Amino acid sequence: MTVETVAQRFTRRHRSLTLYLLATLFVAAPAAAQSAPPDAAPTSSAASIAQLDDDAALDRAEPDFVVVNLPTTLRLPLYKSNFRLTHRFAGNLRNGTFSEQAGNLFGIDLGALIGFEYRFAVARHVQAAFYRSSFDKTIQFYGKYDAVRQQHSLPVSISPVASIEGTDNFQEKYAPALGAAISREFGTRFAGYVTPIWAHNTAASLDPVAQDHDGGAHTDSSDPPRERRNTTYIGFGGRVRLGSSTYIAGEIVPRVQGYAPDQRAYGVSIEKRIGAHMFSLTFTNTFGTTFAQVARGGAANTLFLGFNLGRKFF
């Protein structure tokens, strides 16, 4: 009997997990739509003010802490938390024929860059997050202050953000970043975002993502670049709610100053909210998920399937 290698077992389990998540999304969607309460306007101005002051209340226009990769202004109740899992599969959907893509299950068979995040509200309107991506073994420490909330005479919500990330499990290529997420909601159906970010040392990690013989994705760090450059970008994003709990979201990230290789990063997603879970099927031209990785842009003629899976604990 042939003995399976560890890599082969991992690839099969990875594919099975992804298929299970996709199946769960589409099987549970009809039931969630039936059980979800209908949208209703507040019965009084007092009720409306109470909802604005309640960080745990469901915001139908802004259900998640990210658009695709960029941050939102969603608040986290004091001492509550959120867990997020990210996958960016290595198969380029713009290469090969449809039958070839189907044979690789649209990139799922070719491995993925995986990340996980845990965020916690350490103080009222203050979030702290830890994120780890397999892209260059990057660890990001991230903080967000939800300073301004849209209400009455205030037309927008504003959340300053700050982070520092480092590769090789936070041992080298450090890249701090500063910026803000600015949002405006239009009723309960649409939210728009402008996200200016300044990221330092954005030329530090430009190693190509390669695929090994088992279909796994990894980065080649044999000759890392030594130059340090900064990038300023302004992300634009939006999210539209369809029905009671289905969304379409998108973002594009033009670089306005500094280091700007390749193409500007972009992403779109089809999303489903089921209770405290948020599942987003993503299509991006970059593997990047941190502030500095997104600053480096995406490659031309590429499109990668992926997903975000979030779970709120409140």
Specify the pLDDT at position 15.
54
pLDDT digits (tens, 9 = 90+) for 160-189: 999 999 999 999 999 999 999 999 999 999
246 compared with 47, residue with greater pLDDT: 246
Element (H, E) at 280: strand 277-284
Q: Is the pLDDT assigned to residue 89 strictly greater than 60?
A: yes
pTM tops 0.95, yes or no: no
Mean pLDDT, rounded, of the chain: 84
Q: Confidence band (pLDDT; 50, 70, 90) for 155? A: very high
User: Residues near 262 by Cβ (< 8 Å), separated by ≥ 6?
Assistant: 296, 297, 298, 299, 300
CATH of domain 6-33+60-313: 2.40.160.40
Specify the pLDDT at position 13.
52
Q: Confidence band (pLDDT; 50, 70, 90) for 152? A: confident
pLDDT digits (tens, 9 = 90+) for 232-255: 999 999 999 999 999 999 999 999
Q: Confidence band (pLDDT; 50, 70, 90) for 208? A: very low
Specify the pLDDT at position 1.
46
- 112 backbone dihedrals φ, ψ, rounded to 5°: -155, 155
Q: Domain spans of the chain? A: 6-33+60-313
Q: Confidence band (pLDDT; 50, 70, 90) for 204? A: confident
pLDDT digits (tens, 9 = 90+) for 11-46: 455 555 555 544 444 444 444 434 444 444 444 334
pLDDT digits (tens, 9 = 90+) for 224-236: 455 668 999 999 9
Specify the pLDDT at position 14.
53
Specify the pLDDT at position 220.
53
Q: Is the pLDDT assigned to residue 90 strictly greater than 80?
A: yes
224 compared with 70, residue with greater pLDDT: 70
- Are 300 and 262 in contact by the 8 Å Cβ rule? The answer is yes
Q: Taking CA 125 as the corner, what is the angle to CA 159 and CA 55, rounded to the nearest 5 degrees?
A: 105
Q: Is 137 left (phi over 0), alpha (psi -120 to 50) or beta?
A: left
